[in-house]
Amino acid sequence: MRLPLGRRQNICVTNCLLEEYNTALFRNPSKREVPSRRIRSFGRAWPRPSDASYEAASRCTETTMTIRKEAGQALISTTLALVALMGFAGLGIDLGILRNDKRLQQTAADAAAIAGASNTAYGDVTFGAQDAASRVGYTDNGGGQVSNCTGAAVGTICVQVNNPPATGPHSGDNNYVEALVADVQPTYFMKILGKNSVTITARAVAGNLGPGTGNGCMYTLGAPNGPPEGLHISGNTTLNASNCTIVDDGDYVTSGGALTVNAYSIGVSGNSNVSGSGGSVTCILAGPCPTFGIPASSDPLQTLLAPPVQSPSFGNVTTTGTQTLQPGTYSSITIGSGSTVTMNPGIYYISAPGSVSFAGVATVKGSGVMFYLQNGTNPSNGASIDMVGPGSQVSNIQLSAPTSGPYAGILVFQDQGDDKNAKIGGDNNSFFDGALYFPEGQLTLFGNAGGGFNVAIVDADAVVLGGSTTVNLLGSAALPAGVNLIKNATIVE
């Protein structure tokens, strides 16, 4: 138990007098008489030697006063420390509140950028963007310029829309819209330091990657640090996409290979993982190439619904010689080595766990064709497709997607519950005029040295570029006339 200050002082003086008394006896041991006078200190009497003086009591009293002064200094130091600790705690609380507000503002900026980019073909970009921000709680009352929020009153909101963006790698490009949302936020504990408000600004850029230059032609949906994820290079491949954009939600991985890229632009959500020879990347759009750290894109084809089972049903089919196939439901299709196959227009429904495969080099042609790969009882036993024969043999394959109906522009559609790996390949006469859609699976694009083939759009969980081929991504230019698959705007910054 801690004694009161006055009681502690009494004890200190008493101990001090005892020490003086014993010191005097030690210095003059012959004088052991007890004097008639007594020194009284705080109600108690103590004998002292005859040569002791009242100076001892004075010194002891001074010691007590020093203790009192030190106790006061400790109280002041503790008070100052508490004020500092409260200041740091208040600063932490303010920063936490402001961080949460910034997160909410980022949602408004993303919504505004997407709405604005969606309106680039129809006008009213600013109105659409500001309306989208208002719907999530940020209505502009600052004149549409973020500079008006600097030094403004608490509660002032500024939603500025720039088409084209004023800064960043997409500045000057009318296909992109930049949204800035500024909000003057009050502070709480920081007011002690004279800071009564803070202006927080969130920024987003969205692109309308529909038809035309800069449209999206490759989407990899797997998140960083997969697997599978992003764009992988396992060979020495050339990827040409000079008129369209590559959007990589994962990492950019050149493990064990070199990739030569010629693209309009490349956006990567993750990081660069160059453990192979790397290759080279060239972008037509000014700015970093690739641009890392962009927000992940959504799946532009995610609204596709699986077709019903087709009739008639053909079971397992292996082609020989010259043969024509009809649309319908198949347990499997094997393209026999040396065969020449014509595929009539329609949907080729491959039931799980069936497959489309090649037994060797062959020729396959078809217009208005879609392969649908059914999902299985679990993601690993769905249907699959492999258009590369044994020993990495590639064939002459010329296929184009339907021109009308709900699957216009879709060439291969693997169900969203099927994660089986797929392989598409061809020689330098091959083309795949349509979208290759593998939302849960890894797609390998493969070809031999000296060969190359054309693809319209690739949308997959991950893409591996194998062999030594050249892949030409043509985007909407390779879709049937009037077909536009990429209808939604995408956040790119």
**pLDDT tens sequence across 32-84:** 444 444 444 444 444 444 444 455 555 555 555 555 555 556 667 776 666 66
Return all residues near 96 (Cβ < 8 A) that are at least 6 apart: none
pLDDT (average), residues 217-241: 78
88 assigned to some structural domain: no
User: What integer pLDDT is reported at residue 72 of this predicted model?
Assistant: 59
pLDDT (average), residues 10-29: 51
Of 25, 56, 82, the residue that ends a domain is 82
User: What integer pLDDT is reported at residue 23 of this predicted model?
Assistant: 54
Residues 225 and 123 in one domain: no
> Does residue 186 or residue 162 have the better pLDDT?
162
Residues 219 and 235 in one domain: yes
Structure confidence at residue 459 as a pLDDT band (50, 70, 90):
very high
Residue 270 pLDDT exceeds 70? yes
Residue 167 pLDDT exceeds 70? yes
Work out the widest C-alpha separation in the chain, in whole angstroms: 139
User: What integer pLDDT is reported at residue 332 of this predicted model?
Assistant: 96
Compute the distance between CA of residue 239 and CA of residue 253 in angstroms, rounded to an integer. 14
Of 182, 207, 232, the residue that ends a domain is 207
User: What integer pLDDT is reported at residue 36 of this predicted model?
Assistant: 40
pLDDT (average), residues 433-458: 87
Residues 144 and 275 in one domain: no
Structure confidence at residue 372 as a pLDDT band (50, 70, 90):
very high
Percent of the chain's residues with pLDDT above 90: 28
> Does residue 300 or residue 144 have the better pLDDT?
144
Percent of the chain's residues with pLDDT above 70: 73
199 assigned to some structural domain: yes
pLDDT digits (tens, 9 = 90+) for 241-269: 888 888 888 887 766 566 778 888 888 88
pLDDT digits (tens, 9 = 90+) for 383-395: 999 999 998 888 9
Question: Is omega for the bond preceding 295 within 30 degrees of 0, making it cis?
Answer: no
With contact defined as beta carbons under 8 Å apart, do 276 and 297 qualify? no
With contact defined as beta carbons under 8 Å apart, do 196 and 94 qualify? no
Best CA proximity match to 258, nearest among 467, 424, 451: 467
Determine the structural domain holding residue 143 and report its residue range: 100-207
Burial of 166 (0-12, 13-18, 19+ CB in 10 A): exposed
414 assigned to some structural domain: yes
> Does residue 382 or residue 282 have the better pLDDT?
382
Of 207, 228, 260, the residue that ends a domain is 207
What rounded mean pLDDT belongs to the chain?
A: 79
pTM of the model: 0.65
Structure confidence at residue 16 as a pLDDT band (50, 70, 90):
low
95 assigned to some structural domain: no
pLDDT (average), residues 346-371: 96
Task: Write phi, then psi, for 259 (nearest 5 degrees).
Answer: -120, 125
Least confident interval from 11-25, 281-295, 392-406 = 11-25
Residues 70 and 126 in one domain: no
Residue 176 pLDDT exceeds 90? no
User: What integer pLDDT is reported at residue 369 of this predicted model?
Assistant: 97
87 assigned to some structural domain: no
Compute the distance between CA of residue 169 and CA of residue 248 in angstroms, rounded to an integer. 16
Residues 421 and 276 in one domain: yes
Best CA proximity match to 112, nearest among 204, 215, 34: 204
pLDDT (average), residues 95-104: 75
Residues 275 and 359 in one domain: yes
pLDDT digits (tens, 9 = 90+) for 111-144: 888 888 877 765 678 888 888 888 878 999 988 9
Structure confidence at residue 92 as a pLDDT band (50, 70, 90):
low
Least confident interval from 255-259, 308-312, 352-356, 374-378 = 255-259
Residues 112 and 189 in one domain: yes
Compute the distance between CA of residue 270 and CA of residue 221 in angstroms, rounded to an integer. 11
Residues 120 and 24 in one domain: no
Q: Residue 40: helix, strand or coil by DSSP?
A: strand
User: What integer pLDDT is reported at residue 128 of this predicted model?
Assistant: 82
pLDDT digits (tens, 9 = 90+) for 395-414: 999 999 999 999 999 999 99
pLDDT digits (tens, 9 = 90+) for 192-224: 667 778 888 899 888 766 656 667 889 988 888
pLDDT (average), residues 292-308: 83
Residue 317 pLDDT exceeds 80? yes
User: What integer pLDDT is reported at residue 5 of this predicted model?
Assistant: 44
Residues 66 and 156 in one domain: no
User: What integer pLDDT is reported at residue 266 of this predicted model?
Assistant: 85
91 assigned to some structural domain: no
Sequence-distant contacts of 63-70: CB under 8 A, at least 24 apart: 63/12, 63/13, 63/16, 64/9, 64/12, 64/13, 64/16, 67/8, 67/9, 67/12, 68/5, 68/9
94 assigned to some structural domain: no
User: What integer pLDDT is reported at residue 87 of this predicted model?
Assistant: 62
User: What integer pLDDT is reported at residue 60 of this predicted model?
Assistant: 53
pLDDT (average), residues 415-420: 88
Residues 473 and 418 in one domain: yes
Cα-based distances in Å from 203 to 76, 110, 146, 166: 47, 8, 11, 12
381 assigned to some structural domain: yes
DSSP assignment letter at 124: -
pLDDT (average), residues 452-481: 86
Residues 145 and 260 in one domain: no
Residues 381 and 329 in one domain: yes
Give the total number of structural domains in the chain.
Answer: 3
Token pair listed for 200: 């927080």
